[in-house]
Amino acid sequence: MSPADYGWLVLGFPLLGTLVLAFGWRWLPGRSAGWIGSASILASFISALGALQQLQERPEEERHIESSLFDYADTVGVSVELGILVDPLSVLMMLVVSGVSFLIHLYSVAYMAGDRGYARFFAYLNYFVFSMLLLVLAGNFVLLTVGWAFVGAASYLLISFWYRRETATQAGIKAFVMNVIGDVGLVVGAFLLFDGTEALDYAGVFEGAHLMKDGQLTAACICLLVGAFAKSAQIPLHTWLPDAMEGPTPVSALIHAATMVTAGVYLIARTHPLFELAPTAADVAAIIGTLTLVVAASIALVVTDLKRVIAYSTMSQIGYMVLGVSAFAYGAGLFHLMTHAFFKALLFMGAGSVIAAMGGIQSLDRMGGFRRAMPFTFVTFTIGALALAGFPLLSGFFSKDEIIALTLNRGGFYAVLGVIAYVAALITAFYAFRMVFRVFFGEPVEEARELEQGHLAHHDPANPMTGEHEDPDVGFPGPEHHIAEREWPMKAAMAPLALLSIVGGVVGIPGVTDTLEHFLEPAFEGSDHLGAHPSESDEQLGLAIGAVISLTGIAIAWALYLVRPTTTLRLRDYQLRAVHDFLAHKWYFDELYDIGIVRPAAACGRFGRTVIESVLVQDVIVGGSTAVVRAGSSLARGLQTGYLRSYAALLVTGLAGLALYFLITSS
């Protein structure tokens, strides 16, 4: 079986899973829907491994296989097929997506049990995995857009999974609208590329890009960037991500940490020939990536909802990845993508466990001292936080430093971006351990004490953001809460991720192993920047600086939270009050959008309804045309007098007239 055959299998299993779950949900008892969903993703992962193995057996030049099922269109100038592309980049993405998805499915088998929409959840999850795999396997821009749109739809379905919760549905709409803006950017970019190169498949576009005018190519790349930023939650299209935490925790883990939000990074990596030909667009991407990196990290310092801290952390880490691939450090960026998937999914899983122990409450202010009550969650969460902070020798350490080292190596203003990235790394380490110390250390709160006695706390079901009362029927979260310590599927999912967070860095230790970079080389051949490496000494200096920064951040968090616990509260209320308010309002982006975009749009809508719709359309056009028809028909009605004699007279008149006509025309 060739790698491409495996590729089709990778796509086929989740699709099959979706269909089975979507149509057969009524007949699936208990947790069987969860097992079916997980099994399909496991099969997909195994097929991805098969593709990897087959790909590595081929010589390096031939690791670029295209395969298509049928032609969508093959007409004048347009040739589009249902085609996939299997090369090292897509195999890496396939493995990460299917592997992490499988573990999250496993986690959800236990976590979502008791929810009335259990089978629906797994159907949506499988659909999402299918869409994401379609996106990374696509071999042309059309199929890419299809996968892109499907992923957006899956995200919407999953964010508003608890659809009776108003905050959830509003968040889903917000996410969808912003994703659509990105979709438009992607499609316009594809149009511009097609206009310039007459091709829609990757190979054709990349070849023809050399002949495109600079201005058009840069514009196309910027449009693609709009799409990437919307999907990856970079500034300015980032406000949907924190709100997306309304969805169930496994959804946050899968979509908004490990996979969907990395689609933008994948896009830039895939279309790298275009960005190398249009360096302006790459610079823009790098700047935005760095900006998001810093802004998101700063907001994560002050938010109090546990899931939202992790969400801002995701936004920030994706900024790293965007910076990496726009600085043409593809291997580094994708390395960080992989390690981030591991530890971010782990962090979300741990957070889910903690929130379950809290009976549904998500606020950091109410949590504390869970160390003794939830040992497994504590250990895995801390491992994740260490990896996030870049603790020496863990996976996150190597991947993050690789990016920063290569960024500094490029020189010019990229050196400035590199320094900013170091500053953000300090903040990252700090807020990562802010979470750890506040949740697991300190005085145990009531729920923790109850749990130490073996009794899981239970609160009235309520909306964690607004406190509104809910009921556990369909459309709202179920009545049960599941923590990792009691459910083996959750433990079985978190343990491998913890392991990978620790040892995952081994594939990319600079100077020692370059497995990942070597593996990815065939996908990026032709790039001028492939061999750009900083010198050995520079690399080691970078590692050292990174280690120092992460330890410093952890130490500061230790000092502020454990040694003198009230310090942060004083800072928040007195010395740094203005700063805190500014950060707590998320840099006022939401308010800016509300005033600048949402209100004018709503006003336009109102104008449309009251003036155009009511007056023009209803009264003038519709009313007017009916009035004209009525007038005409009342004229015609005058003929229907009901008198037999007038009818007879008309008949005879008509007859005479007809005869006269024929008489005249025939003579």
Partner 1 sequence: MDVVWFVVLSTLIFAIGAAGVMTRRSPLVILLCTELMLNACSLALLAFARMHGSGDGQIFALIVMVVAACEVVIGLGLIVAIYRKRMAIDVDKLSELRG
Partner 2 sequence: MLFEQIMFFVAAIGALAGALGVVLLRNPFYSVLSLIAHLVSLAILFLLLRSEFLAAAQIVVYAGAIMVLYLFVTAYVGGAAPSSWRGGEAGAVGQLGVIMAGALFVVISLAVLGSSLDALDTRGAELEPGFGSPGEIGQLLLKKFLIPFEAASFLLLVAAVCAVVLARRRRGLEEGGV
Helix (H) or strand (E) holding 457: none
Compute the least distance from the CB of residue 628 to partner 1, in Å: 18
Task: Decide if 133 contacts 77 (C-beta within 8 A).
Answer: no
Concatenated DSSP letters of 577-635: HHHHHHHHTGGGHHHHHIIIIIHHHHHHHHHIIIIIIIIIIIIIIIIHHHHHHHHHHHH
Q: Which entry of partner 1, partner 2, none binds 637, CB below 5 to 8 A by partner kind?
A: partner 1
Q: Which entry of partner 2, partner 1, none binds 559, CB below 5 to 8 A by partner kind?
A: none
Compute the least distance from the CB of residue 667 to partner 1, in Å: 18
Return the number of the residue (600 or 657) whose C-beta is nearest partner 2.
Answer: 657
Compute the least distance from the CB of residue 663 to partner 2, in Å: 5
- Residue 656's SS3 state is helix
Candidates 415, 503, 648, 658; binder of partner 1 (CB under 8 A) is 648
> What is the bridge-based pairing of β-strands 78-86 and 65-75?
antiparallel
Task: Decide if 119 contacts 173 (C-beta within 8 A).
Answer: no
Concatenated DSSP letters of 249-309: HHHHHIIIIISGGGHHHHHHHHTHHHHHH-HHHHHHHHHHHHHHHHHHHHHHTT--BHHHH
635 binds partner 1 per the rule CB under 8 A:
no
Return the number of the residue (467 or 642) whose C-beta is nearest partner 1.
Answer: 642
Return the number of the residue (639 or 663) whose C-beta is nearest partner 1.
Answer: 639
Compute the least distance from the CB of residue 636 to partner 2, in Å: 19
Q: Which stretch binds partner 1 (CB under 8 A): 75-83, 372-380, 608-616, 637-645?
A: 637-645
640 binds partner 1 per the rule CB under 8 A:
yes
Return the number of the residue (622 or 656) whose C-beta is nearest partner 1.
Answer: 656
Taking the C-alpha atoms of residue 441 and residue 376, their distance in angstroms, rounded to an integer, is: 14
Candidates 76, 578, 639, 664; binder of partner 1 (CB under 8 A) is 639
Q: Which entry of partner 2, partner 1, none binds 562, CB below 5 to 8 A by partner kind?
A: none
Taking the C-alpha atoms of residue 661 and residue 303, their distance in angstroms, rounded to an integer, is: 92
Return the number of the residue (622 or 649) whose C-beta is nearest partner 2.
Answer: 649
Q: Which entry of partner 1, partner 2, none binds 569, CB below 5 to 8 A by partner kind?
A: none
Candidates 75, 566, 643, 666; binder of partner 1 (CB under 8 A) is 643
Beta-bridge partners for 84: 67, 138
Return the number of the residue (603 or 652) whose C-beta is nearest partner 1.
Answer: 652
Return the number of the residue (622 or 658) whose C-beta is nearest partner 1.
Answer: 658
Which residues in this chain contact partner 2 in the complex, by CB under 8 A? 641, 643, 645-646, 648-649, 652-653, 655-656, 659-660, 662-663, 667
Distances from the Cα of 278 to the Cα of 184, 217, 537, 615, angstroms: 21, 7, 32, 50
217's tokens? 């190519």
Q: Which stretch binds partner 1 (CB under 8 A): 249-257, 346-354, 561-569, 648-656?
A: 648-656
652 binds partner 1 per the rule CB under 8 A:
yes
Rg for the chain, CA atoms, rounded: 30
663 binds partner 1 per the rule CB under 8 A:
no
Task: Decide if 310 contacts 429 (C-beta within 8 A).
Answer: no
Q: Which stretch binds partner 1 (CB under 8 A): 6-14, 54-62, 367-375, 647-655?
A: 647-655
- Residue 196's SS3 state is helix
503 binds partner 1 per the rule CB under 8 A:
no
- Residue 339's SS3 state is helix
